[in-house]
């Protein structure tokens, strides 16, 4: 397991490149200074899945690249199933380093953006949050604490929180199992 203190995002990209060059298998968990999380899943040095803020692959890159400073922790015990990134022709390391391909895919909007009305976050019982955190940790590992806190701040109700947390689980079957288990544990029924 490798862990580093906060560093500029360019340092994170370089660390990922080293993991690839070392042909490592596992997951790099990246947490930004503003508590955004990303996961980079490696299989023998090849990036097989990229997740950030509920998005995958090239779509997750835009969210990742807005991180200014972050820390990285590599866990060889957590290996997810592969996404089909190769078929999409995506060289993720090149895209992490070069902003031009991303700009062509998803142009950044200039200037201030209008504020959107959002329902106030719900106040969740700490026992419910602890249950969800433990259930989520079985699927995504120790980053569950951060992911739960981030989504709890934004969710309007418990059902929305369960759905948002399930979206963070890379495997669709595991995500469905999580929704079912959480719904039962929290008395929500089918979620």
The tens-digit pLDDT sequence of the chain (191 residues) is: 444 578 888 888 888 888 888 999 999 898 888 778 888 888 888 888 888 887 877 777 777 877 888 888 898 887 766 554 443 334 555 555 544 433 343 433 333 444 444 444 456 777 888 889 889 888 888 788 888 888 887 888 888 889 999 998 988 999 999 999 999 988 887 77
pTM reported for the whole predicted model: 0.48
* Cross-strand pairs, 3: 73
Contact 37, 83 (CB under 8 A): no
pLDDT at 66: 79
Beta strand segments in 62-176, E: 69-75
d(CA 122, CA 24): 41
């Amino acid at each position: 397991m490798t862990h580093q203190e906060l560093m500029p995002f360019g340092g994170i990209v370089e660390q990922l490149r080293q993991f690839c060059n070392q042909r490592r298998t596992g997951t790099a968990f990246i947490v930004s200074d503003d508590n955004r999380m990303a996961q980079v899943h490696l299989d023998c040095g090849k990036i097989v899945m990229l997740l950030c803020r509920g998005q995958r692959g090239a779509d997750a890159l835009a969210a990742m690249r807005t991180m200014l400073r972050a820390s990285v922790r590599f866990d060889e015990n957590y290996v997810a199933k592969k996404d089909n990134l190769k078929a999409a022709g995506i060289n993720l390391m090149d895209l992490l380093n070069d902003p031009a391909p991303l700009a062509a895919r998803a142009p950044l909007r200039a200037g201030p953006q209008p504020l959107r009305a959002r329902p106030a976050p719900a106040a969740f019982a700490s026992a419910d949050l602890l249950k969800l955190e433990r259930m989520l940790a079985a699927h995504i590992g120790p980053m569950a604490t951060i992911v739960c806190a981030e989504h709890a701040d934004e969710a309007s109700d418990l059902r929305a929180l369960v759905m948002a947390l399930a979206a963070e689980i890379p495997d669709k079957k595991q995500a469905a199992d999580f929704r079912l288990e959480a719904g039962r544990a929290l008395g929500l029924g089918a979620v």
